[in-house]
Amino acid sequence: MNSELTSLIEKAKAAPRALSVGELVQLLSVESADDRAALSAAGRELKLRQCGKGVAVRGLVEAGNVCAKDCLYCGIRKSNACVKRYRLSADEIVAGAAASKAMGYKSLVIQSGEIESEAHTRFIEEVLERIRPLDLGVTLSLGEQTEEVYARWRAAGATRYLLRIETSNPALYAKIHPSDCSWTRRVDCLRALRRTGYQVGTGVMCALPGQSVEDLARDIVFYGEMDVDMIGMGPFIPAENTPMGMANDGRGMTNEERLRLGLKMIAVTRLYLHDVNIAAATALQALQDDGRELGVLAGANVIMPNVTDVQYRRSYQLYANKPNLDENAAALRDRLDCRLSAIGEHILYDQLGDSRHFAART
Ligand code: 5AD
């Protein structure tokens, strides 16, 4: 490893937010196997220092794929007519939450396509009120809403919210979204979530066409500026029947390159922010079977195993090659258990796994 890389890593480890955009670019640009290993090892070391051994888990319920948005990269975009649309009933979501708890997952994520309506707001409120007695950490990932809606869901029992900014570069954002999507509104939503008292999570896709390494460095600075508590990010993977889904046509990056970039983003984000929760996204596993484990070895401390009933999994494919389409939640947990043991880690059963950054700032 070159001495310049060693000293950058030491500087990053010594204090959060210590690196400039240029220095972040340098870290994100490492290519040799040795340098990439050193970066991951440093991310992992900080993860262990900040979060200890163990991986926090959240059972993921994919509550529905009906979506009002037409994002150019996403498999469940509104105008993808090939998708069979579904919405789980309140009973089904509550059953998912109960099953998740029974498996030892103390936290739950409810994610769905984006819907803004009073009926939907009310529906989620009811679901949250019914889940409340289970005493779980509840994360919502339901897109852009008004501050009033965020507040209602917060009052009904949700404590965390994930809303990816997708990219911190407004010009790139405009290229991958239709014109009715606004980067500024996303930022406003993140601020509203913060005011409403949530643990706030955001993130980006890396490996986007037209994205520079400097964009990625600025994404990490954006996380710091927004002072977020949780990060969920992963490589863009072309999805079938989408404008950006030119899968397997030889253009763009290989899966290996996407994975490498995703792992570098995790390590450098850990090195820059230190105490946030960072998820090893399922997209990493779509690129390589042990992708999420590699994410943990680069500094991630959260995994979100799917607990959605298998009959719906195929209908919630944001990108190609989604893993675990047929395995039920218990089988997935047992396999995850084995895989984490193999890397000297384990599932943190019956623990909320709240963000340390949130605890420190409140
Ligand atoms: N590749 C990778 N991630 C995707 N997402 C949507 N489509 C894709 C894709 N093709 C991510 C977005 C969104 C999250 C729910 O899924 O970042 O915020």
Output the 3-class SS for the chain: CCHHHHHHHHHHHHCCCCCCHHHHHHHHCCCCHHHHHHHHHHHHHHHHHHHCCCEEEEEEEEEECCCCCCCCCCCCCCCCCCCCCCECCHHHHHHHHHHHHHCCCCEEEEEECCCCCHHHHHHHHHHHHHHHHHCCEEEEECCCCCHHHHHHHHHCCCCEEECCCECCCHHHHHHHCCCCCCHHHHHHHHHHHHHCCCEEEECEEECCCCCCHHHHHHHHHHHHHHCCCEEEEEECCCCCCCCCCCCCCCCCCCHHHHHHHHHHHHHHHHHHHCCCEEEECHHHHHHCCCHHHHHHHCCCCEECCECCCHHHHCCCCCCCCCCCCCCCHHHHHHHHHHHHHHCCCCECCCCCCCCHHHHHHC
Give the Å distance between the CA of 128 and the centre of ligand 1.
25
- 207 band by pLDDT with thresholds 50, 70 and 90: very high
Residue 151, in any domain of the structure: yes
pLDDT value at position 247? 52
For 222-261, write each residue's pLDDT tens digit: 999 999 999 999 999 999 999 999 655 556 899 999 999 9
Residue 2, in any domain of the structure: no
Residue 66, in any domain of the structure: yes
Q: Across residues 59-69, what is the average pLDDT?
A: 98
Which atom of ligand 1 is least distant from the CA of 244?
10
CATH number of the domain where residue 213 is located:
3.20.20.70
Give the Å distance between the CA of 90 and the centre of ligand 1.
25
Give the Å distance between the CA of 107 and the centre of ligand 1.
22
Q: Is the pLDDT of residue 44 over 70?
A: yes
- 362 band by pLDDT with thresholds 50, 70 and 90: very high
Q: Average pLDDT over the chain, rounded to whole?
A: 96
pLDDT value at position 250? 56
Residue 1, in any domain of the structure: no
Mutate to test the pocket of ligand 1, among 58, 61, 70, 74 (most ligand atoms within 8 A of CB): 74
Residue 252, in any domain of the structure: yes
What domain count does the chain have? 1
Mutate to test the pocket of ligand 1, among 189, 236, 248 (most ligand atoms within 8 A of CB): 236
Residue 330: domain span = 7-361
Q: Across residues 178-198, what is the average pLDDT?
A: 98
User: Measuring from atom 13 of ligand 1, which residue has the nearest CA?
Assistant: 164
pLDDT value at position 249? 55
For the chain, give the percent of residues with pLDDT over 90. Answer: 97
Q: Is the pLDDT of residue 18 over 70?
A: yes
Give the Å distance between the CA of 166 and the centre of ligand 1.
8
pLDDT value at position 155? 98
pLDDT value at position 253? 92
User: Measuring from atom 7 of ligand 1, which residue has the nearest CA?
Assistant: 74
Q: Across residues 28-38, what is the average pLDDT?
A: 97
Mutate to test the pocket of ligand 1, among 70, 73, 211, 240 (most ligand atoms within 8 A of CB): 73
Give the Å distance between the CA of 234 and the centre of ligand 1.
8
For 151-175, write each residue's pLDDT tens digit: 999 999 999 999 999 999 999 999 9
For 133-145, write each residue's pLDDT tens digit: 999 999 999 999 9
Whether pTM > 0.85 for this model: the answer is yes
pLDDT value at position 295? 98
pLDDT value at position 75? 97
Which atom of ligand 1 is least distant from the CA of 111?
15
Residue 354, in any domain of the structure: yes
For the chain, give the percent of residues with pLDDT over 70. Answer: 98
Give the Å distance between the CA of 101 and the centre of ligand 1.
26
**Ligand 1 binding residues, C-beta < 6 A:** 73-74, 164, 166, 205, 234, 236-237, 239, 283, 318-319
pLDDT value at position 1? 66
Residue 177, in any domain of the structure: yes
For 71-97, write each residue's pLDDT tens digit: 999 999 999 999 999 999 999 999 999
pLDDT value at position 145? 98
pLDDT value at position 161? 98
